[in-house]
Structure 1
Amino acid sequence: MKKINLLALLCLVSFSILAQQKNFEIVGDIKNLPAKQIYLRALNRDKNRKITQPIIALAKVSNGKFILQKDTLLADPAWSAELSYKDSITNKIEIISFYNPDKSPDERGYLHGGFILENTKMQVNGDFKLKKAVLLSGSKETEYQMKTGLMFAPSLSPINKKIDSLQALGASDQMQSALAERSEIIKKYKAEFKQMVIENPSTWGAVLNIYQNAHSFSPQELEEFVAIFDKSVMSTATGKKLLNHIQQNKLLLPSMPFPDFSYADVNNKKFTLNQLKGKKGTLIVFWASWCGPCRAEIPELKTFYTNYKDKGIDLISISTDHSVVDWKKALDKEKMPWANLSNLPGDYKEIISKYNVTAIPAMFLLDKDNKIVLADPNDFKLIQKHTNQILQGI
């Protein structure tokens, strides 16, 4: 089952007023820079929750020199910040590229169009006559981004499908080999993440990588990572979200009661879980209109609904959309015959936080008492297997 990570979309610029910390400052010296002003942009979300990249600071350029700063502080480092300028010769807006000093020009990852904006003093140096890229120094977060970047746990869908097909064929020896292969995949990526944390205990980017892959680790494994991280990065907004995720995850384990909700349908009528649950069980699906894998799995969900609706298993889809218009448009096109709810025009992040939805689609299978049977297994075959077991009283 393919998924789209939600947390990587949350690394937007936000400001704090923590007086004991220093704010950001970018001191530039770019020779032969054809510009009178320099602009600093960072990812943000507008009032319609669309991703934008507004100017958050600007400075005059004099002989290639400039200083960008802001009195307020960043609550979290900002991913994919940009420096841009209006070329005084062509009148075109140009984005400044940064080069990785640890790579050669012919290597992948040598040039970067953005950097990590953090509460520290950074320097930008270069000469446009020599090359149209500059060196940014003083930002350990940008160094981490260039070296490691965003990490993702591998999808287990291919190996899970292989195991299912071998099981159906009764090929026990080959299935055992495939199970061992899956265990090795899991063991390998968990070791890679742990080594990454050990090597970067005071780097916010490392916390971000653990947070956005939190669904791939148990609460105990996540707590081991937290114990390694420095308090300075755990006190960031992302660090606090990771701690909240761990606590919430302990409430979302199998046999635990699924947290109730009161969300609205397209007619703005609110429903709770008990009003919509199936007599024998319920499948909760978290999705969004913009999520390709979510839309791709809808035919499979329709088959599931048809096969089980008369047997006492119901289905509820909960949207993590940013726009009520986009959500309703998708519902009109997809015509899903089961309950579809959202908290719009509320904040979708409330749903993400409450149910630890780090990637979508995400599914929870519940029994007749709303207790969790499966917590986001990322394996639809496994969901069907346990649904049948619920019906059989196993």
Structure 2
Amino acid sequence: MKKFLMIAALLPVAASAQTGKFTITGKIGNLDKPAKVYFDYMDSNGAGKEDSAVVVNGTFKFTGNLTGIGNTRMSLDHTGEGKPHSIYAPGADVIYFYFGKENIVINSKDSLSNARFTGSKVYDDFQAYNKQIGGTIMDLTKAANNAYSKATPEQQKDSIFMAGLNASFRKSIDARSEKQYQFAKSNPKSYFALVGLSEAAGSKVDVKKIQPVFTALDPKLKQLDMGKELQQRIEAAGLTSIGSVAPTFTQNDVNGKPVSLADFKGKVVLVEFWASWCVPCRAENPNLVEQYKKYKDKGFEILSVSLDNSKAAWLAAIEKDGLPWAQVSDLKGWNNAVGRLYGVRAVPQSFLVDRDGKVIGNTLRGETLNKKLAELMN
């Protein structure tokens, strides 16, 4: 395996626990109203914040207090169509980066995507880290999309050709994960060692591989929220494995009443992690409704845990999708206590628990779930 070089003076860990002020000033050409920049970020304590700024004569500015290092998504709505459009629309002008308690300047003639950053050592170190691991997920996705766009119409309709493109993309993702793992091994004091190891671990943690590298990280990194979350994910790999007794939990329902997994003792329970904003989750809900009606009287229950942080959006999705079973959430988004207990890093995610409280399936949905329920309930 190629030996990875150390990046000199890469983000002293001691700085990660401090709180201070940051300023981000942007200049994007001559853009003006109704152009608007949306700024969502999370600090080293896992606290999420949202902000926005109208672009006036190409300029915008954000200021605030930050604990440790910030992880952000910034999107530019060029035409005033709203935040969702600025993030999810085809060709959206959206960037992801890390920043510190610094005076940062962003400059570009036309877009955030082409912006140049100055004044941020954290951002410079983030770029150095990305260079070592082969780029961001956005970079790899862009390359895959470019390869698709260069294909002929006939190739784009060819299932074998498309399977090859997908295999190539997956290979690049796997190669990036391995480089992240190697970076973490070689740079145990770097903040980005923790970032890389957390991403490389994924939702199905290989404990034998990840645990030793995590143990070797600087103790101060492991005390950060990201470090604690990764530790929980490593532990959850054993707690939620097939045959293990499902971790018990209690969380409030839509009316503020506590609901516990223990309340469903003696029944087959699907612990379903979802969110109102999750398109695949919402697409699966009709099937869950059908299965619930079919097997409810035979001892089947669903306990849904929402990773929403907006109660209004959560309740609206429940009503619109007609979900009659128990729904709980602490409205802390990705920091949902049950989600962290179960090591959930992506939704939809589910764990099927038998009448004895043991995990007998995970990530079951669609026909895979239907067949499993038919076996159990019939």
For the pair 1:78 / 2:71, whether they are aligned, the reply is yes
Query: Please, which of 198, 201, 204 is the counterpart of residue 211 of structure 1?
Result: 198
**Alignment-derived partner of residue 312 in structure 1:** 299
Superposed, 1:13-52 pairs within 5 Å as: 43-44=40-41, 52=50
Instruction: Name the structure 1 match of 2:321.
Output: 334
Is 1:223 equivalent to 2:216 in the alignment? no
TM-score under structure 1 length normalisation: 0.58
- What per-residue deviation string (whole Å, max 9, x for no partner) do you get for residues 336-378 of structure 1? 23x232234677622222222211111110110111112x335
In structure 1, the partner of 2:182 is: 198
Contact 2:19 2:68 survives alignment (8 Å): no
3-state SS in 2 of match to 1:266: coil
Q: For residues 209 and 152 of structure 1, do their structure 2 counterparts lie closer, same or farther at Cα, with a shift above 3 Å needed? A: farther
- Percent identical among aligned pairs is 23
Relative to 1, partners in 2 of residues 1:152 and 1:217: Cα closer, same or farther, differing over 3 Å? Answer: farther
For the Cα contact (< 8 Å) 1:197–1:228, is it kept in 2? no
Larger relative contact order (CA 8 Å, sep ≥ 6): 1
Asked if 1:324 is matched to 2:318, the reply is no
Answer 1 or 2: which has greater helix percent: 2
| Higher Rg of the two aligned structures | 1
1: CA distance between counterparts of 2:178 and 2:73? 25
Map residues 344-355 of structure 1 onto 2, 5 A cutoff: 344=330, 349-355=336-342
Cα deviation for residue 186 of structure 1 reads 8.2
How far apart are the structure 2 equivalents of 1:344 and 1:355? 15
Structure 1 spans left out of the alignment, 5+ residues: 1-15, 34-39, 56-67, 84-107, 155-181
- List gaps (5 residues or longer) in structure 2: 1-12, 31-36, 54-61, 77-90, 142-165
Q: Does 1:141 align with 2:139?
A: no
Q: CA deviation at 1:237?
A: 2.7
Match of 1:377 in 2: 363
Report the CA distance between 1:247 and its aligned residue: 1.9
Q: Do 1:23 and 1:74's aligned partners in 2 also have CA atoms closer than 8 Å?
A: yes
Could you tell me which amino acid in structure 1 is paired with residue 309 of structure 2? Answer: H
How many aligned residue pairs are there? 303
* Alignment CA distance shift 1:303-1:75 (3 Å): same
Output the CA distance in 1 between the equivalents of 2:139 and 2:245. Answer: 29
Quick one: structure 1 residues 246 and 151, their matched pair in 2 at CA, closer, same or farther if it must change by over 3 Å? farther
Deviations 1:50-81 (A, max 9, x none): 962269xxxxxxxxxxxx998x7633333347
Aligned to 1:343: 329
Q: d(CA) in 1 for partners of 2:372 and 2:330?
A: 32
Contact 2:73-2:94 at 8 Å conserved across structures: no
Q: How does 1:1-394 map to 2 (within 5 A)?
A: 43-44=40-41, 52-53=50-51, 74-80=67-73, 115-118=97-100, 134-136=116-118, 138=121, 139-145=124-130, 148-150=135-137, 189-199=173-183, 201=187, 203-205=190-192, 207-212=194-199, 214-226=202-214, 233-277=221-265, 279=267, 281-337=268-324, 339-344=325-330, 349-374=336-361, 376-377=362-363, 380-391=366-377
